[in-house]
Structure 1
Amino acid sequence: MRGRSLSATLAIAFGAITFVVFALVGSMLYYALERQVMQEDDNDIVLISRHVRRLADELSSVPDLREHAARLVSQVLGHREMALRILDADRHLLIQHNAERLGDGASLPVWMQRVPYGERITANALARWQDASGGPMHGIASELRLRDGTTVTAIVSRDMTYRRLLLVHYRDRLYAFGLVGMLLAFVLGWMLSSVALRPLREIAASAATITVDRLDTRIEVQKVPSELRALIESLNAMLDRLHRGFERLSQHTADLAHDMRTPLGNLRGATEVALARERTVDEYQTLLASNLEECERLSRMIESVLFLARAEHPQFVTRLRVLDANAELTRIAQYFEGVAEEANIRLHVEVDGTAKLQADVELFRRAVNNLLANAMRYTPPGKAIVLRATQMAKATRITVANEGTAIDAALLERIFDRFYRADPARKSDSKSAGSAGLGLAIVRTIMELHGGTVHAESDAVSTRFILTFPCRL
């Protein structure tokens, strides 16, 4: 299933975030404005009620109240939503202004409690109700006392319909602005993300041009944002590794084909010569022995290549155990003793008494065997090869040292490459006939499987191959 566009995802996220922010901010502003407007309107009702009471305190009787009705009504004049009604003790109407929506006086006890005379008029005495048409109303009923002791009731109210409509209109505008802002953020987010993601599209286009034939091509990093620089550097590093891997694979394939061609050529040439005319039984036996030797050489080469391929697989298993360095090196020296005597080479084993290591016994023996076989090829007759084990604080070192011609320092690392031989002239000599240039490569692979290292040192005195096994004891 095709994934959603990153530009669309970012644009939707921008729009959603903008809407949520607008909604939260708008709601806070709306409720803050509503509270402030209601509080100011309610304060006006409280203040007008107090003024009406103070004016009533100066009036002597009900007739005097009627006579000065204009003074009382003047408190609500100029406010279209404000209303005033004054009732006597029997709920009879004495004065009113704009009070048609208050209902009749008899309904007063149902929805409103009077503030007794002498008690301070505050916003806590406000009553909230709806008129017959459903409009919101706020008001205060307070008790007034004239100088002759007559008690009347003053009702100061305010029609809140206009305020409600104003707040509803403000809220609707906030919603509209929020939707417009969300759409604008979506469009701008789409445009911005498209521009911001252009380097990714350019990277994808550049990567699409890289093929097996163009693995040396790299993605440019000069004009990309700093956030993508690490990604491009990682991709280029991956391409470098792939390029080196393909080059090594091509080189190994060519080297393997070249090295296999020699024994196959020998087999074919010897067989063609033998078939050119009748041969004696001894000659045929000699031919078969020679062919068998070439077959064994091919078999060793193929087996070495297969081992290297299996060792590079992540699921290759090593069975580690503690080994006595002295016993293992002595066993290997005894195995090569007969070959060494024929070549007039002396073998010595020098081991610290407590030298031990943790390794796979088969792989350890194979690594040391390869080093010893390599040393015997290039050790002159009458010289010695030393197998040495040294116990260190955090590692155990196995050294195979032989006297002979020194190896050029520039070649000491390359000699561990597959199919590489330090001296090209030795490729076809008798000592190198059994070597395919894979022995030292196998040694390095074995050490990598053990988490250790291998390196070579060479001078006029001797050439030394050193295996370093990490100490896990």
Structure 2
Amino acid sequence: MKRTSLTLRLSLMFVCATVAVLVVAGFTFDAFSRHHFKGLDRQLMTEKLESIRKIMDGEAGSADLSEVVLQLQALLGAHQELSASIVTLSGRTIFATSDGAAQPASNAHEVGQDMLEWTAAGHMYRGMKAEVHLVNEAEPLTAWLSLDVTSHMQFVETLRWWLVIGLAVSALVSAALGWLVARSGLRPVAQVTQVAASMSVGSLKERIPLESVPHELELLVSSFNAMLGRLEDSFVRLSNFSADIAHELRTPISNLRTHTEVILTKKRAPEDYEENLYSNLEDLNRLSGIIDGMLFLAKSDNGLVLPDKQKIELRSVVEKLFEYYQLLADDTGVKLQVSGHGTVYGDGTMLDRMISNLLSNAIRYTSSGSTISVDIISDRNTVLLSVTNPGDEIAAEHLPRLFDRFYRADPARREGATSNAGLGLPIVKSLAEAHDGTVGCYSGGGHTVFTITLPALVAPNRA
């Protein structure tokens, strides 16, 4: 099902809002008009009844019935729409205007404050009554007044039809204006869409300028620009990674092919074949290490590395690794020492791999006769493990990228060096992040320090 455009939806909303306002205004005006005419009719009949009461009571200056009738005719004769009758309790008519339509018909109903409303012979009437007394007469009389309001109601009906026509015309005009306003207001969105559609791999550095963007769209455009920045960074990293892995795999594969081609050029002694197989095995082990490291990092990037956490004393982990690396350290004339204690809640195998990578890296770059120090500092919230080795300092421009994949701070190192594919430190970073920790590096004063900061021991929540 095709969705309606935003311009159409905004136009419809504008029309609906306008029509709703006009309908409310029309009903209000119609009700006010009816109330106004009803008030005028009530005021007129109330005043006339009061005048009739004064004439009947003799307050107008005459007590003779014939004079009273003349005064009543003079009072009511000027109003053609107004009819009056005065009757006794027995139903005898004392006075009546010529049309004689003063008293209400059988379909009369009350419309408030003693005023009745009814229809007769195609006309609408409103009427009121009052009890009056004729001077020198003890019998009470009833005065009826009725007002023909047909012209009023016709005016109201005509006005109502004009309101309906005006409402329809206003709705059409509002629809057109709403469409123009919505189209004009959404023009910046179209511009943003045009810029976004023109983005490509070669234009990821471009950004949508915020100067001409309305305030309501600033957050959207800022978020889009931030997304472009992340895409650019990811694309650059992916491109660099593709180039790096190609270089890393090229050397061992080239070595395997070259050795095999050379050994197959002629018949050789069994010892030559054995030597070639050992050489090929070394390159195959390197390829296997690179592939294993990349698979692990791929799992880490997708959140598939889940530590099996338990209580771990870091000093015991370090001392166990010292036993493993002691022979290598003795061969290179390097000493190992550890200080401090710290307990974390983590995966023992992953912690072994983290610290092992840092130790092997330190031994590789520490000169003979120097000491590698592993210091564990614990406080209430965190445990800091640092591996310090003396040696050549790492330039400051390399420090932010040390934990990138395949990155090497030493350009003089031979490409494809055995046992070092540039994945050790990225794996340390991934393992630390899997434990909600961080990694860092400082190099200065003839020493290089790699740090791992982990949360202090906190018991897990039991479901």
Alignment TM-score, normalising by the size of structure 2: 0.91
2:317 to 313, 320, 328: 328
Identity %: 30
Matched, 1:145 2:130: no
Shift of 1:194: 0.6
Query: Is the 1:82–1:98 Cα contact (8 Å) retained in structure 2?
Result: no
What SS does structure 1 have at the residue aligned with 2:356? helix
Number of residue equivalences? 457
Query: Is the 2:241–2:405 Cα contact (8 Å) retained in structure 1?
Result: yes
Aligned to 1:42: 42
Matched, 1:256 2:208: no
Structure 1, unaligned stretches of length 5 or more?
Answer: 114-122
Aligned to 1:167: 156
Aligned to 1:27: 27
Aligned to 1:351: 340
Aligned to 2:116: 127
Query: Is the 2:374–2:386 Cα contact (8 Å) retained in structure 1?
Result: yes
Aligned to 2:461: none
Shift of 1:198: 0.9
Taking the TM superposition and a 5 Å limit, the aligned residue runs for 1:45-444 are 45-58=45-58, 64-87=64-87, 91-102=91-102, 124-133=113-122, 135-147=124-136, 149=138, 152-352=141-341, 355-428=342-415, 432-444=417-429
Range that drifts further, 32-41 or 390-399: 32-41
* CA distance, structure 2, for counterparts of residue 205 and residue 435 of structure 1: 47
Shift of 1:324: 0.6
Shift of 1:151: 5.5
Deviations 1:23-52 (A, max 9, x none): 223323332332232122112112101111
Structure 2, unaligned stretches of length 5 or more?
Answer: 459-463
Change (3 A) 1:80 1:294: same
What is the letter of the counterpart of residue 269 of structure 1? T
Range that drifts further, 88-97 or 401-410: 88-97
Change (3 A) 1:263 1:66: same
What SS does structure 2 have at the residue aligned with 1:390? strand
* CA distance, structure 2, for counterparts of residue 185 and residue 212 of structure 1: 44
* CA distance, structure 2, for counterparts of residue 129 and residue 428 of structure 1: 108
What is the letter of the counterpart of residue 278 of structure 1? K
Aligned to 1:5: 5
Range that drifts further, 289-298 or 406-415: 406-415
Deviations 1:391-418 (A, max 9, x none): 1232101111112111112211211111
Shift of 1:290: 0.8
Deviations 1:359-414 (A, max 9, x none): 22222111111111111111112222222211123210111111211111221121
What SS does structure 1 have at the residue aligned with 2:413? helix
* CA distance, structure 2, for counterparts of residue 462 and residue 196 of structure 1: 61
Change (3 A) 1:66 1:86: farther
Query: Is the 1:319–1:360 Cα contact (8 Å) retained in structure 2?
Result: yes
What is the letter of the counterpart of residue 375 of structure 2? R
What SS does structure 1 have at the residue aligned with 2:406? coil
Change (3 A) 1:365 1:112: closer
Shift of 1:279: 2.1
Query: Is the 1:267–1:291 Cα contact (8 Å) retained in structure 2?
Result: yes
* CA distance, structure 2, for counterparts of residue 377 and residue 281 of structure 1: 35
Change (3 A) 1:336 1:145: same
What SS does structure 2 have at the residue aligned with 1:421? coil
* CA distance, structure 2, for counterparts of residue 110 and residue 415 of structure 1: 99
Root mean square deviation of aligned Cα: 2.8
Query: Is the 2:314–2:343 Cα contact (8 Å) retained in structure 1?
Result: yes
* CA distance, structure 2, for counterparts of residue 462 and residue 446 of structure 1: 24
